[in-house]
Amino acid sequence: MSKKYQVSIVKYEKPKESVRKAINLINGLKDISTDSKVFIKPNVVYWNSECDFPKWGMLTTSRVVNDVVELLHERGFSDITIGEGIISEDPNNKSVAEDAFESLGYYKLRDRYGIKVYNAFERPYEKVNLTKNITARMSSDMLNSDFLVNLPVLKTHAQCKVSLGIKNIKGLISISSRKKFHSADPEHDLHYNVAQLANKIPPCLTILDGIYTIERGPAMDGKAHRSDILVASRDIVSVDIVGSNLLGIGPEEVPYIVQAAKDRDRKTDLADIEVKGESIENLAKPHEWDYIYKENDTLPLPYAKAGIKGIKYYKYDESMCTFCSFYNGIVLTAIKTAWKGRNGEPFDDVEILTGKNMEPQKGMNKTILFGQCQYVRNREHPNINELIAIKGCPPSVEDIQEGLRKAGISVPSYFFKNIDKAPLLFMQKYKGKPEFKEEFFEIK
């Protein structure tokens, strides 16, 4: 009889008890000595210290982090570390992580239970051969732990389709490795690289936090739902297969899951998985993951419907890394803002290129090369009539503003002056909806 990988699905109903049930259904802490070094990896994909932003479906709830720490403490575990590498507008600003840990209540857990809380960017990394072709600098604290408790959000991802257990490990590799993962190599692309992340981790318990889920994630411009689902497994591939099904996305359609299963001589169906607790069929809800662009992927569909003309903002691909993709929504919002002041006059045939694969097209008057990768790749391309370089890795807000101005995309000065408060715009869609509670990201 072939091996069955156990995965639990639990409805979130009560603090601590729901997480306890998800773990106990699969004996998630079986054979783990209480002397073990335990490393907890939440998903704090982004933080803004200047204003509120919609955390629902984007960040692991503090509720689940708190419950895991309390349950470990109850069982006698004492060497516990929470670690994460957090993205912000300024990658060099270390105070952002401190503010996140304080606001999310991690420092309260530190003081209450004597655990450690680390900003992964300030801690050592070790070079690891994930495969013979792929290396990464991974968190030394995680690699040298005895047991990993992986706490991703149950959510979609605009590049990887879903972001679950395996993808969450990406937060424990260095900035340079993160950038390298978004490769232009068609064989060893983002999907392939992400699939390898689970190859070197210690024994692991993954709990998908689906109290809130998100469509068109992984960030705040997606649409969050109150879903009240927890999924747990000691097998990271199995939990991702089940999680993908719960999001209404077939795991056979998720390249990184297909690759991870193939590497382990497995399929992406449920044949070798035993689901305990709730059923997938009863809780699965379709979540959209993709942003729709108009014909030939030249402009987001809402922008095309709004009649915006004279500009091509090509659809991002997997080679655009986290640090440039952070500005994707900002540039699009700038374009929309500038268009409102043009009274229907088309832009001057401008194209904007991102990532590592795009090439300039013939017939455009102005070509913006966004980011250092684009500049290095295409700065001497023969199709360019007027080059506008927005260099940097990632570019600065000042350079973005100046580059757009040169292209005739005139944005009011207040737009960039208040860019740190732009996330407030995304809070509006949750206003007055009682199911979206900030208390899930607080620890009393």
pLDDT in tens, the chain (444 residues): 568 999 999 999 999 999 999 999 999 999 999 999 999 999 998 999 999 999 999 999 999 999 999 999 999 999 999 999 998 766 677 799 999 999 999 999 999 999 999 999 999 999 999 999 899 999 999 999 999 999 999 999 999 999 999 999 999 999 999 999 999 999 999 999 999 999 999 999 999 999 999 999 999 999 999 999 999 999 999 999 999 999 999 999 999 999 999 999 999 999 999 999 999 999 999 999 999 999 899 999 999 999 999 999 999 999 999 889 988 988 999 999 999 999 999 999 999 999 999 999 999 999 999 999 999 999 999 999 999 999 999 999 999 999 999 999 999 888 888 888 989 989 999 999 999 999 999 999
Q: Which part of the chain has CATH 3.40.50.11440?
A: 5-289
The sign of the torsion formed by the CA atoms of 254, 256, 259, 265 equals negative
* Residue whose pair of structure tokens reads 């640090």 in the numeric block: 323
Average pLDDT for the chain: 96
Dihedral, CA atoms, 173, 176, 180, 182, nearest 10 degrees?
A: 70
Query: 76, 80, 75, 49: which is closest to 65 by C-alpha?
Result: 80
| Residue 68, token pair as written in the block | 């895991």
Give the C-alpha separation, 25 to 4, whole Å. 14
Asked if 405 and 385 count as a contact pair (C-beta separation under 8 A), the reply is no
Handedness of CA 154, 155, 156, 159 (dihedral sign): negative
* Residue the block writes with tokens 């335990």: 38
Q: Are strands 147-151 and 350-353 parallel, antiparallel or unpaired?
A: unpaired
- Within 314-391, strands assigned E span 350-353, 366-370, 386-390
Question: What CA–CA distance (Å, rounded) separates 59 from 155?
Answer: 10
pLDDT of amino acid 94: 77
Please name the residues in contact with 173: beta carbons below 8 A apart, sequence gap of 6 or more. Answer: 85, 125, 136, 137, 138, 139, 181, 197
User: Which pLDDT does position 91 carry in this prediction?
Assistant: 62
Closest-CA residue to 48 (of 421, 332, 330, 438): 421
CATH topology classification for 5-289: Rossmann fold (3.40.50)
pLDDT of residue 93: 77
For position 416, what pLDDT does the model report?
87
- Packing angle, helices 62-74 and 17-24, rounded to 10: 60
Residue with tokens 């002056």: 417
Give Cα separations from 19 to 57, 77, 125, 287, 333 (angstroms): 17, 17, 31, 24, 39
pLDDT tens readout for residues 61-98: 999 999 999 999 999 999 999 999 998 766 677 799 99
Amino acid 89: pLDDT: 65
pLDDT at 223: 97
Distances (CA, A) of 52 to 209, 437, 442: 21, 13, 13
Predicted pLDDT of residue 418: 85
Question: What element of type H or E holds 135?
Answer: strand 135-139
DSSP string, 69-108: HHHHHHTT---EEEEE--B-SSTT-THHHHHHHHHTTHHH
Q: What is the pLDDT of residue 277?
A: 98
| First-residue to last-residue Cα distance in the chain | 48
Q: Distance from CA of residue 262 to its chain's centroid?
A: 23
Which tens digits make up the pLDDT trace of 138-189? Answer: 999 999 999 999 999 999 999 999 999 999 999 999 999 999 999 999 999 9
What are residue 312's phi and psi, to 5 degrees? -125, 115
Task: Enumerate the H helices of 85-181 as residue ranges.
Answer: 95-103, 106-113, 140-143, 165-168, 175-181
Spatial CA neighbour of 26 closest among 228, 182, 239, 179: 239
Residue 3: predicted pLDDT: 81
User: Which of 153, 157, 159, 150 minimizes the C-alpha distance to 243?
Assistant: 153
- Taking the C-alpha atoms of residue 83 and residue 144, their distance in angstroms, rounded to an integer, is 13
Q: What percent of the chain has pLDDT above 90?
A: 91
**pTM of the complete model:** 0.96
Structure tokens at 121: 């960017």
